[in-house]
Structure 1
Amino acid sequence: MTQGNYKSSVGLCETQPATAEGIRALLGGSEDLTCRWAVPNLLVGLQLARQQPVQTLVLDKGFGQQAVISALTELRESMPDVGTIVWGNSMNEAEALRLLQAGARGLLRKTADLATILTCIRAVSDGATWMEDCVFRDTTRHERPSRNDLTMREQQVLGLVEQGMKNKEIALELGIRPGTVKIHLKHIFEKTGVHGRYGLALNGMRIRGVIPVQPAVGYSPLA
C-alpha cells in the first residue's frame, strides 16, 4: 500500500462543506492517506485533478448522475491511473451499474462508518475495485442457490443480460421471441434470487471477481 512516510493523495469533490471538512479530518488522522485538495465544484475538481494529480478522487453523487458519469468518462480517458470513488446518500443497482460501466472503481454510501470509508479509499488507492454490499437490494440472496441450476438457454440469456443487452437484442441474438426472453428471465430471477436486470449484471460482475463486494457495518439494505 504505502512505504515509509509516503502518503497516498486524495482529491475530494463534495457538495457539502461540512462533509468535506469531516473527510479532511478523517484523512488527516491517517498514516497512509492525505487529502490534497477539496472543492465544492465538479469542473474545478477535474481541472485540479489535471494540475495537482491525486491517486484517488472522491466524487459526490449529489452533483447529478449525468454530470458524474461525464466526469468519470473524462477521467477514464484522460487520467486512467486515477481511482475514482462515487459516494452519495443513496445508491441503487441501476445507478451502481452505470457508474461502474463509466469507470468508477469505488461505490460508497455517505452513511458508511469511518472505518468503511477508509477501507474503500485504501482499496481504490491500491488499484482495486470496491463496493459496499448494501448496494444490492437483497443482501441475503448471495447465500441462495447458484446459477448452476440454470438451463443452458437461461445461462445464455443471463450472459447477454450481463453484457447490457435488452430483451429485443437478446431475442435477435438467440433467434427467439422477446416474450420467450421474458419467460427465461422470470426463471432466472426465481433460481438466482436476484430481481431485476441491473441486479443480474452487478451480481455477474461480483461472481467474476470484477467487484469484490465488501460488507459494511451499520447499514440497512436499500429498498
Structure 2
Amino acid sequence: MSVRVVVVDDHPVVRAGIVGLLAGEDDLDVVGEAGDGLQALDVVAAESPDVVLMDLRMPRLDGAAATGRVLAAHPEVRVVVLTTYESDADILRAVEAGATGYLLKDTPREDLVEAVRAAARGETVLAPSVARRLVAQVRGDDQRLTARELEVLAAVARGGSNGQIGAELFISEATVKTHLLRIFTKLGVDDRTRAVTVAIERGILPSP
C-alpha cells in the first residue's frame, strides 16, 4: 500500500523538486501540495495523508504552527519538517508542535525517501546535526562548560586565533584545540562560528 504524502513549501520550484523526487518511488504517492500553512490545513483535511513534508518559514502560517494545528485535528498524520534552517529555536518549536522528524533540504535523495517511509511507520527521523543538538539540549550539556572553556569561547568570540588565545590564557595551542573540541561536542556544533552563535543564542555568551 502506498504512503500518501502532502508537500508543503512556499517556493513553487522547491516544491516541484520535492514532488518530482518522490514521484519516482512506487510506494510513495504525492496526493497534495500547499504553498503555506493555512493551505496545508485544507489539503490535509481533504486528502488524509500519512506523511506531511512541512517547510518552516512560510507566509500566513508558519510550519511549526501549522504542524500543531494539523496534529490537533489529525493526530494520526506524521509531520516531517523539511527546511534550510536548523537554529535551536526552530528545531524546538517544530518538535514541541509534535513533528515526527526534522530534515534539512540538503538531505540526499535516498535519505529523504527512506525518511518518509520511516515516518509513515511512526519512527522519528532527524538530520544528524539536528539530533546532536537536541541531545545536547535535553542533557543540558551547554550548561556544563567549564570556567576555562568559557574563557576560550569568549576569546574565540573576540576573534582570537588559537595561538593568540593560548598566549592570553597561558596555555599551549594544543590545549586550546582540546578545549575547542570539547566545546563543539557540548554545544553540538562543528566549527568556531557556530559555537559562538549557539552560545549567544542560549545566553552562555552575551550578545555582541
Q: What is the TM-score with the length of structure 2 in the denominator?
A: 0.64
Name whichever structure is richer in helix by fraction. 2
**Contact kept? 2:34, 2:43, Cα under 8 Å:** no
Structure 1 residues 133-144: aligned runs within 5 Å: 133-135=128-130
Q: Which runs of 4+ in 1 moved over 4 A?
A: 189-192
**Contact kept? 2:103, 2:127, Cα under 8 Å:** yes
1:117 aligned counterpart, secondary structure: helix
**Contact kept? 1:85, 1:105, Cα under 8 Å:** yes
Tell me if 1:22 matches 2:17. Answer: yes
1:61 aligned counterpart, secondary structure: coil
Q: Which string of whole-angstrom CA distances, capped at 9 and with x for unpartnered residues, describes residues 187-210 of structure 1?
A: 5x9889312xxx6xxxxxxxxxxx
Q: Report the Cα distance in structure 1 between the residues aligned to 2:110 and 2:33, rounded to whole angstroms.
A: 20
Structure of larger gyration radius: 2
**AA matched with 1:124:** A
State the match for 2:145 in structure 1: 186
1:194 aligned counterpart, secondary structure: helix
Q: Could you tell me how far 1:137 is from its partner in structure 2?
A: 7.0
Q: Could you tell me how far 1:120 is from its partner in structure 2?
A: 1.4
Q: Which string of whole-angstrom CA distances, capped at 9 and with x for unpartnered residues, describes residues 171-220 of structure 1?
A: xxxxxxxxxxx9x6335x9889312xxx6xxxxxxxxxxxxxxxxxxxx8
Structure 1 residues 133-172: aligned runs within 5 Å: 133-135=128-130, 162=138
Q: Which string of whole-angstrom CA distances, capped at 9 and with x for unpartnered residues, describes residues 68-111 of structure 1?
A: 22212212221111000111112123321221111111111111
Q: Which runs of 5+ in 1 are unaligned?
A: 1-5, 143-157, 165-181, 200-219
1:57 aligned counterpart, secondary structure: strand
**AA matched with 1:85:** V
- Flag the 1:29–1:110 CA change in 2: closer, same or farther, 3 A: same
Q: Report the Cα distance in structure 2 between the residues aligned to 1:136 and 1:14, rounded to whole angstroms.
A: 23
How large is the RMSD of aligned CA atoms in angstroms?
A: 3.4
Q: What is the TM-score with the length of structure 1 in the denominator?
A: 0.60
Q: Report the Cα distance in structure 1 between the residues aligned to 2:75 and 2:67, rounded to whole angstroms.
A: 10
Q: Which runs of 5+ in 2 are unaligned?
A: 150-178, 195-208
State the match for 1:216 in structure 2: none
State the match for 2:90 in structure 1: 95
2:10 aligned counterpart, secondary structure: coil
Q: Report the Cα distance in structure 2 between the residues aligned to 1:18 and 1:80, rounded to whole angstroms.
A: 29
Q: Which has the higher contact order (CA 8 A, sep 6+)?
A: 1
**AA matched with 1:19:** V
